[in-house]
Amino acid sequence: MTSTDALYSELKPDIAMVANQLFDLSETLLRKQGNFLPHAAVLTEDGDLRLVGAAPDTKSDRTNSTEVLPLLHDGLRFEAKQFPLKAIGIAENVTITLEEQRPTKAIKVLFEHKRGLTVALYLPFEKRLLKGYVFGSTFSLAANPEVNVWA
């Protein structure tokens, strides 16, 4: 077992707490609205979980992920300066292509922990005509930090 595997096993409760909350909210938004903007959760040192969102300062009624994601990252960095955080997670609607497979839509949760673990968790989904959204099995991949709260 590598040190990353050991750290993943040790931090699994934190990963589950953050990722499950974000997956649940993302699924709800998909079912109600057909899409969602990036949103996040922070896990404090005290074990409290808080949801975090961001919205661009725009006169338009419509916005997109490209506008929201950098604001969300900045907001999480600011939050980490104000409060002692243990972990953060960011949910996005993405398309992922695994080796030798066709592209698939997925909810991605990027999880970053202050102890140095960064992992991307994916929940594949598809929209079926009569069944609505159908979700697959969650899987995870090693990832590079994007927010770098503890850099």
pLDDT at 58: 66
Residue 150 within a domain: no
Q: Which residue has the higher pLDDT, 3 or 124?
A: 124
Asked if residue 109 is part of any domain, the answer here is yes
State whether residue 131 is helix, strand or coil.
coil
Residue 147 lies in a domain: no
Task: Specify the pTM.
Answer: 0.92
Whose tokens are 């709800």? That residue is 28
Q: Residue 151 domain-assigned?
A: no
Whether 85 maps to a domain, the answer reads yes
Tell me how many domains the chain contains. Answer: 1
User: Whose CA is closest to 131, among 31, 24, 27, 23?
Assistant: 31
Structural domain includes residue 41: yes
Instruction: Quote the CA–CA distance of 48 and 11 in Å, as a whole number.
Output: 15
Q: Give the pLDDT band of residue 140 (cuts 50, 70, 90).
A: very high
Residue 149 domain-assigned?
Answer: no
Q: Which two tokens stand for residue 77?
A: 């960095």
- Residue 24 CA from chain centroid, whole number: 11
Q: What is the mean pLDDT of residues 33-58?
A: 91
Q: Taking 90 as the threshold, does the pLDDT of residue 60 lie above it?
A: no
Q: What is the pLDDT of residue 16?
A: 97
- Structure letter (DSSP) for residue 43: E
Q: What is the pLDDT of residues 67-119, one digit of tens each?
A: 889 999 999 999 999 989 999 999 999 999 988 889 999 999 999 999 999 99
Is residue 132 situated within a structural domain?
yes
Q: Which domain holds residue 137?
A: 3-142
Q: Which helix (H) or strand (E) holds 87?
A: strand 85-96
What is the average per-residue pLDDT within 31-46?
95
**Burial (0-12, 13-18, 19+ Cβ within 10 Å), 34:** exposed
- Residue 146: which pLDDT band, with cuts at 50, 70 and 90? very high
